[in-house]
Structure 1
Amino acid sequence: MIASIPWRQSLGLRQAGVFYALLALLGILAALAASRGLPPYLAPANLGNIAYQASLVGIMAVAMTIMLITGAFDLSVASVAALAAAVLVGLAGQIGFVPALLCALCTAAMIGILNGVIVEFVGINAFIVTLGTLTAVRGLVLVVTDGRSLMVEDPQVLAQMLAFESARVPLFWPLLALGAVALAIATLRRAPAPALGGLGLLALAGLVGPRFTVAAPVVYLLLFTTAAWFVMERTVLGRRIQAVGGNAEAARLSGINVRAYRLGAFILSSLAAGFAGALFGSRLGAINPTAMQGAELTVIAAAILGGTSLYGGAGSVIKTVAGALILFTLTNGFNILNLGANYQGIIEGAVIIVAAAIYTLGNRKRGETR
């Protein structure tokens, strides 16, 4: 059973800093919008838009967090997502949406297996392997698309794809229910983390109101994050994954199949990327060869902002989602305030470096006090 974290430690910067940063960023942007006479920045529609923009990166970043916890690395996720989108869009008009979706996910899984086998059984560094597959899979996207944009022309199939990606889902009552459940768990177990989460969910439900709806990808992200959190924090499987990343040799000596867990992490990472790519392709029913280029850096940045260690053994999928929300809140704020895209990369890069420095110094200080 996982030991509960004391209240004071849970509310400290180390445990909750990413949430404080997200709230502070939202507050600053809301104040700037109000000072310029713009519509309320914290309007439910805009909050839903931020979550929608962050959903695809968030799905990939949650899987990337598990990957990083095992001590491995995957740079190929954006290329895998683009290939899955190309397979989906290219086949949907011929064999139907659902079979095409399965083909896209199987293609993504095969790349994950390939990455994992080369890393674990050949012994090549994961960074080098996935850097190579990043380039190779991007070339495969060019082959599949023949270097041009693809689109679905069948109206019935296109309607299915749009329903899969763009359906609106009411979120007010689920937020209330999840908040109540989290508070009940916190009361029974006297654990601070579920209580903080429950209060946050109830506050969000009160802010957005009963008519609030979100696009389907936001719901997919919530479900995936919840499942990943439960596995990582409340199951033997999750503890073994953390043990693999914390000390692979000790895990091996204790009977854990390290190679199997890391191979599974590669497959999960590619499957999540394939699913995100399928959502991307379904958004407009079209795909171009340069789709999602560079998104792998945003995925890794979200995990880093959430405090995931690049050395393995530590990370939180919930904090990773908060990290993704920070990145897309910055983008959204720049667009709404019309601050200019020239400075956006500079500020986002500085935020990532500062966050990494804070976590690094915090870990060093913690180690010196032991």
Structure 2
Amino acid sequence: MNDPDTLPLPVWRDELELEYAALAERLEPLVPCLEIPLHLPWIDAINKLKKQRGAVIMAHSYQSPEIFHGVADITGDSLALAQAAAACDADLIVLCGVHFMAESAKILAPGKTVLIPDVEAGCSLAASITAADVRALRARHPGVPVVSYVNTTAEVKAESDACCTSANAVEVVEAMGTAQVIFLPDRFLGNYVASKTAVELILWSGSCEVHEQFTGQQARHAREQFNARLLAHPECPPDVWAEADFVGSTTAMGKWLERERPARVALITECSMADNLRARFPDTEFIKPCNLCPHMQRITLPKIHACLRDLRPAVEVPEAVATRACMALQRMLAVGRREAV
């Protein structure tokens, strides 16, 4: 067996075509066919290396298909990955997503090594607010609890009473048991939550650089031009939700598709999610009025291989921050996934 620390770069071998025939068939409608022979040596090398390392690879739904289908052991939205990190038995986790997700995994599994293939894979929402901003909000609104979207740094989570995802934001807000809640940082998700609850929300002005670009006009065009059903993420602006047949988290969109089985659908969210769902629903035509997340795209097969080979970059969270952030994350996990689907 090769030493993982001295492995050569993967190269094409003819036997890969037969060994990964089923995966290649699955990827063929999802990525340009000429790319598949380029991906397979990396996929093969990563799958062998993760077995040698005893690692678990977790991939967010916005990861590209060759990662999502080719090397990931656990896939899902932010809540699913947080739950998996808390329950994971492996001592080594490779988080294929953005930095706040890897931080959350480390906070919930402090005794494990958590690697992220690219430390520069960030998030516009997480960058839009700091711990000092949260403390200032608390000073302006004494006694009002803070609910932070999971798309935040560990330091912001540590200043919060609870975290939430788009899958359980309404339920977490209502679980605070107060007339007012500070909700941050996504103003569009905050507005969506406010439309579903009697709790008054005090909002921050953050937004997702992917979802904020969509417009109601684009959504109408997808419906009228392609006769498509519309599914939108609540991080989109309100005029987009108004056009949508369903608004919900990434996992809830999948459940809606499973139930409704539309002939044609437009997912108004990150592009890779539509690619990955197309494999589950081959009879549905996916129209793609979507945007790629530049941060998610920083995660690649060569970077996953390198981080498994070198066991870095590792994510660390200071203990004092992690302890407080963990309490906020645990409140999120206690609520679980209760959105309507």
Q: TM class, shorter-chain normalised?
A: under 0.3
Q: Which has the higher helix share?
A: 1
Greater RCO, CA 8 A, separation 6+: 1
TM-score normalised to the size of structure 1? 0.24
TM-score normalised to the size of structure 2? 0.26
